[in-house]
Structure formats: C-alpha cells, structure tokens
Structure 1
C-alpha cells in the first residue's frame, strides 16, 4: 500500500434501504459488493464481530474488489467483550487465524471495539495490546482500538497505544468520548453523526472540514478543533488514513463517503 493513502468507506454492503437509494433499482444483490467497491474505497466489515468466516469467503471478497480497495475487519466480540482482557489470547488467535490472510493486500486495519461499559484498567489493557499479533502467516497486521468510556481519555492510555503502535479510533460521536491523539503509523476515524436531513449525512461545510482533517492526517499532521488528551503533536510522517461513515443515518452513508471521496480527490 502506498504511503499517505486516504480511503473512505461505509460499514458493510448489504443494507436494504440502500437498494434504490445507492444501488440502482433491480441491481442483483449478489453483485452489491462489486457496485459498492466501485463507488467507495474501503468497507468496514461488521459480520466478523458476530461470527467467523471461511477462508474461501475472504478470498471471494478480495477477488470482488479492485486493486487498492481495502477491507477493515471488526474483531470478534469474544476478544473484546470480556471482564479480563489479558485472557483473550486464544480468541485473538482464533480470529486472526480464521483465514483473513486470504484478503492479502486488501486487508486493512483490524478494529477492536469495546463496549461503552468497559472502563480503563491500565495493566489489563496493556496486557491485551501485547496479545495483538504483528503478523499472521507472514502478512503484516495493523490494529485499531475503539474505546467508549471516558476513563480512557488519559495520557497513560495514549502512551501505551503509541508504544504498541496501535491506533486509537477517533469517533465523531454524540455518545462516546473522542480521542484524536495519533498513536500509530495510520489513522482510523469513524464518522457516526450522520443525519438523514442532509443528502450526504453531514452538512457540506462539515464534509469540507473532514476533508481538511483527512489531508492533515495523511500528511502527518494534527487537525485543529478535535479533542486531544495530549498537547504535543505526533511525529510528522505520512500516514494512511481511513474514514468510515457508520451509524447515525446509515441510509446516507454511501452518499457521505462518495461526497468525501470527491473532496479529498482519491
């Protein structure tokens, strides 16, 4: 993957309200991934959170999308929805070993999402980060964590993620804390406040702002106006940047992604 790529996408591709609003009328459902992959540049797969997939399924997904397209995978809930995270090793190995390597260079970051009730336990979370493998069957893996409790908005959490090279997901959310500190060699943002009253989910000026933020992230900078735990800027280096329109008014997600892709010119 080239440095400083900006990829913009949606969550999944099978969603009935997109039929006729995103997918053309009478578009065959078995070709919805093909269509989506021609109009956005990344997809976050949620189904891997709920259950495992077969290697052949990952291979088929990879074959269905064009070069340069990337899938982000939400990690299994059995890894993250547990009282003691340091005991997740077996579940993590099962998740990364299920055949995700069949995606090859179309495998983007793995998203480890935690419940809003999960609070920050420094020792336990540090142990969890150490369990995340750098590679699976020779394929490099990148990891992003989405935490959704205010107790994580502390320098100790930011420092341990930076030491591990794991990205903290920035979520534009009305319900959960936003942590925009950059801790990895890539950036992962989830835009979760789409409103149906806007054609693209967000107002045009808001999309302009996210396009600016994406360009700053990709160039290695620190966008202004976001919520940070630390005052210091990250080490300046180009960073692959992923933005997903997800949750909120989901029916508007494809239009939001396409509008942002037009703005960032990628």
Structure 2
C-alpha cells in the first residue's frame, strides 16, 4: 500500500494556485480529502492543537483517511515563543533574550507531550490518527544526550506511531547506528529527499511503515533566512525525478505494511518552470499537490 499526500492542505500556495475559486475555509480540507487519503497537519508545530479544532477535522475526514500530525516545536527541542505555551505553563519556564523558551524542564516538556496527545484524541478515537512527526532541528547532532532524548520522547509517545526526521547530515554519515536505534525502540525513520549537500539521501525503513518526505532540491534557497518555507522549499519535481521515486517506493512496498510519500515543497511554479501538462489551464501551479497528483498517476 503506497499512500501519497502533502505536508499541509492550507498553505498559501494551495490557496492561490490549487483550490478552485469558491473553495474556502473549512471546505478546503474536504476538497483535499476527495483527492488524497493522507495529509500532515503542520499547524501543530507552531502551537499546541486545540481539541475542538481537531474534532472538526475528524468529523470532516472520510473513513480510512490518515492524518499525521507534526509535533509541537518544544517537543522536538526547537525554541518557541512564550505565548505559544498555554498560559498556566508560562510561569514555569525561563525565556532567552529573544523571548523564546529553549530549555524547559523535563516536567514541563512532559506536560506538553501529555496535552498534545490529549488534544489529538478525536482523531485517535475515529481511527484517523497516523503518526506523530518528530522533526529534529538541524543543530541536534548524534551524541549520547540526543539518543537519550529520543528514547525519552518515544516513552512519552508510547502507543503512538513515532516518525523521526533527522536534519543534521552527521546522523546519516554512518546511518547504521541511528537506524538500529530507531528499530530497537519501535520508531519509524523518515527518509528525506532534499538537496544532497544538506542531508544525504538514505532510503531505509525501521518499522512496518516506510515514510518519505519530499522537501525539494533547491540548494540556493535552502539556507535563506526569509521566514518563508515557500521560498525555502521552492522546487517542482520533474516527471523523470518522480518516475525514479515511483520505482523506489514500489521496492519499499514489497516488505513494508504501508508506504507514505509526503510532499513538502511549498512554492508555486509558473510557465517558465512547469511543463504544460502540469499547468493545464492555469498560469502557475502549487508544487506540492501538483507533484503528489503526478506521483499518484505514475504509481497507478
């Protein structure tokens, strides 16, 4: 089973270049779910999810649909703005000179994990919750403290599918160590397609789930400090590139229980970059859903 989707459904590129006019607000998730059967929720990275909102998502999604959820930044050792924390926890932490919470106690982190999972209950109870994406920041490198934190985080997520994405290339210079660790602890390794100079491509599986995230291969924009993920991941995969990946995904599917291919290239491409068969009648396309639809066609 190979399931293809995107790492958002409400990104600006979707709104401006994919959804038809008239499909607005909450109707967008329903429109998306008519065309794909899996998605990542990424708003949860910036703020703890609201249970009422999650319940609305669960009611809108059809049976069999899977929603993976990106872990809140504090859960993956990213600094977060103080106001992103619930009010009753703000007095329990210290902030740096930029007003960010970077080193909370384990007790606070543990409470954040608990509240995060509690808010996701409506998805879990309806069978629509997939994995929790733990995307480590690029400054977390392979050392004993990092492995210890991953083990602790896995314990907090016990009973849930833990998807681990590594962002520093040192993890994959000798991948056998981290892959063995993830397999021993029942965690799912996330294969990353990104500019090779940023992180090497290591296709692997450490659980019954194979998971691939497509960030695009635009090295020139990767390190730009623009605050815009659309610019950082500005890349439209070619048909030839996706044909290669289709074969790789089929190989993973031979032994995996399920394979996920998730597109996180968040930009828009116009006539100069997008082939006519992808543009259709539009003057530009949203890269992620366009590539996801093309990959589905290639797999079929």
Q: What TM-score do you get using the length of structure 2 for normalisation?
A: 0.71
* 3-state DSSP of counterpart to 1:96: helix
Q: Which whole-Å CA distance do the structure 2 matches of 1:165 and 1:85 have between them?
A: 26
Q: CA RMSD in A?
A: 2.6
Q: Larger relative contact order (C-alpha < 8 A, sep ≥ 6)? A: 1
Is 2:29 the counterpart of 1:8? no
Q: Which whole-Å CA distance do the structure 1 matches of 2:157 and 2:189 have between them?
A: 19
Q: Which whole-Å CA distance do the structure 1 matches of 2:50 and 2:266 have between them?
A: 30
User: 1:264 is matched with which residue?
Assistant: 299
User: 1:215 is matched with which residue?
Assistant: 250
Worse overlay, 118-127 or 150-159: 118-127
Q: Which whole-Å CA distance do the structure 2 matches of 1:33 and 1:52 have between them?
A: 20
How many pairs does the alignment contain?
237
Alpha-carbon deviations, 1:205-250, whole Å to 9, x = none? 2111222222221221xxxxxxxxxxxxxxxxx3211111103536
1:127/1:114 CA distance change after superposition, 3 Å:
closer
Is 2:161 the counterpart of 1:142? yes
The answer to whether the 8 A contact 1:194-1:252 is kept is no
Q: Which whole-Å CA distance do the structure 1 matches of 2:168 and 2:178 have between them?
A: 12
Q: Please show how residues 168-207 of structure 1 align to structure 2 within 5 Å.
A: 168-174=189-195, 175-193=198-216, 201-207=236-242
1:188/1:211 CA distance change after superposition, 3 Å:
same
The answer to whether the 8 A contact 1:119-1:152 is kept is yes
- Give the gaps of 5 or more residues in structure 1: 221-237
User: 1:54 is matched with which residue?
Assistant: 50
Q: Which whole-Å CA distance do the structure 2 matches of 1:135 and 1:14 have between them?
A: 26
The answer to whether the 8 A contact 2:76-2:135 is kept is yes
Q: Please show how residues 49-128 of structure 1 align to structure 2 within 5 Å.
A: 49-81=45-77, 87=106, 88-97=109-118, 99-104=119-124, 105-128=127-150
- Give the gaps of 5 or more residues in structure 2: 79-101, 219-229, 269-285
